[in-house]
Amino acid sequence: MVFAIFSVLELIYDKSLSGYFWHKINKRGWFLIIIAFVSVAFNFYKDIKSEFEQIKADEAKTKSDSLFRASQNELLQFQILSKELILKKVDSTYINSIKASNEALAKYNLEITDSLNSVINKLKLDATNPQLTIVPLTKGRHSPAWLDKNEEGNNLCIQFTSKGGTSYNISLKYYLVKQTNFEYSILNSGYLFMGESFIIENTETTPQVSIQKEFLEYDEIIVFLTGSFSKDPNGKNIVPFDYAFKFNFKENKWITHWDMRYEKFKERLNIK
């Protein structure tokens, strides 16, 4: 605004008038200055309002995430308690069954000697067999990954699910890799899950990766996901996780799952 005023200074400033500098500004000049100040004040108000709205939105998102984590933790505790009650009930029922059977067979000098511990251990193993995976690509639904474009930026959304049980202690990193001939280069990397997340069976979770504007010109990028999860809440049974797919950022399109020897690929990228 200052530059605009100075560019028309000859039209709004009359040197022939007496007095101080502001006394020599004519009516058109004062009108222009007032309009300039009103415009600046209006834009400043819009910026302040937008900033407060963003703060409120961030607070609301933080509260929503906190409530979600709390509900997930409650569900996890309920699952653990239910599992313990089932095992305790099976334990008691099995013991009573063995006792009754032995009493019935005592007159024949026979006894059931099956191991209760082996049965309980087998039950635990079969009841907890999760498999963390990307949501499969199926007809009539969203692809497993897509680009979400909005005023705040561009985000790559990736859908995960867990099959056969709950996947605990999920810790995953992503790598955006550009392939040129037979050479690979990492464009960006970061965490999708920090090790505290878990996904219950047959539910979907969609973490997001912030995408820089210049990446939108690439028509083929390798998205490599690597890390681990556990089959139990205490993290004693760790399972490695590796997955890669190709994505067209230019057209916002899933290309294909990229199956390969992931250990060799990590060596080439110097990923440990």
Phi-psi region of 53 (alpha: psi -120 to 50; beta: other; left: phi over 0): alpha
Asked whether residue 120 falls in the same domain as residue 134, the answer is no
Question: Is residue 10 very low, low, confident or very high in pLDDT (cuts 50, 70, 90)?
Answer: low
| pLDDT at 121 (0 to 100) | 44
Residue that is last in its domain, among 10, 29, 62: 62
Domain of residue 141, residue span: 130-269
Asked whether residue 211 falls in the same domain as residue 261, the answer is yes
Task: Tell me the range of 16-25, 70-79, 86-95, 135-144 where mean pLDDT is highest.
Answer: 135-144
| pLDDT at 122 (0 to 100) | 44
State yes or no: pLDDT of 120 exceeds 50. Answer: no
Asked whether residue 109 falls in the same domain as residue 187, the answer is no
| pLDDT at 247 (0 to 100) | 96
* CATH code where residue 246 lies: 2.60.40
Note whether 188 and 176 are within 8 A (CB): yes
Asked whether residue 265 falls in the same domain as residue 150, the answer is yes
- What are 208-250's pLDDT values in tens digits? 999 999 999 999 999 999 999 999 888 888 999 999 999 999 9
Nearest to 230 by CA among 147, 163, 169, 162: 169
Residues 42-64, mean pLDDT to the nearest whole number: 81
SS3 49: helix
DSSP assigned state of 151: T
Asked whether residue 15 falls in the same domain as residue 76, the answer is no
Task: Name which residue leads in pLDDT, 110 or 63.
Answer: 63
Q: Say how many domains are in the chain.
A: 3
Residue that is last in its domain, among 36, 62, 88: 62
| pLDDT at 123 (0 to 100) | 42
pTM: 0.54
| pLDDT at 14 (0 to 100) | 60
Asked whether residue 138 falls in the same domain as residue 95, the answer is no
> What CA–CA distances, in Å, run from 19 to 13, 24, 28, 33?
12, 7, 18, 19
Asked whether residue 138 falls in the same domain as residue 263, the answer is yes
Cβ neighbors of 199 (< 8 A, separation 6 or more) are 132, 160, 161, 162, 166, 167, 170, 205
Asked whether residue 51 falls in the same domain as residue 27, the answer is yes
d(CA 130, CA 161) in angstroms, rounded, equals 10
SS3 233: coil
Residue that is last in its domain, among 126, 143, 166: 126
Nearest to 161 by CA among 208, 196, 129, 206: 206
Amino acid symbol at 238: I
Look over the chain and give the mean of its residue pLDDT values, rounded to a whole number.
79
Asked whether residue 162 falls in the same domain as residue 206, the answer is yes
Residues 130-148, mean pLDDT to the nearest whole number: 85
Asked whether residue 27 falls in the same domain as residue 83, the answer is no
Nearest to 128 by CA among 89, 188, 185, 84: 84
Asked whether residue 158 falls in the same domain as residue 42, the answer is no
Asked whether residue 244 falls in the same domain as residue 139, the answer is yes
As a 3-state breakdown, the chain gives helix, strand, coil percent values, each rounded to 5, of: 45, 30, 25
- What are 161-190's pLDDT values in tens digits? 999 889 999 999 999 999 988 899 999 999
> What CA–CA distances, in Å, run from 210 to 104, 108, 234, 241?
68, 73, 31, 22
| pLDDT at 110 (0 to 100) | 52
State yes or no: pLDDT of 98 exceeds 70. Answer: no
Note whether 167 and 229 are within 8 A (CB): yes
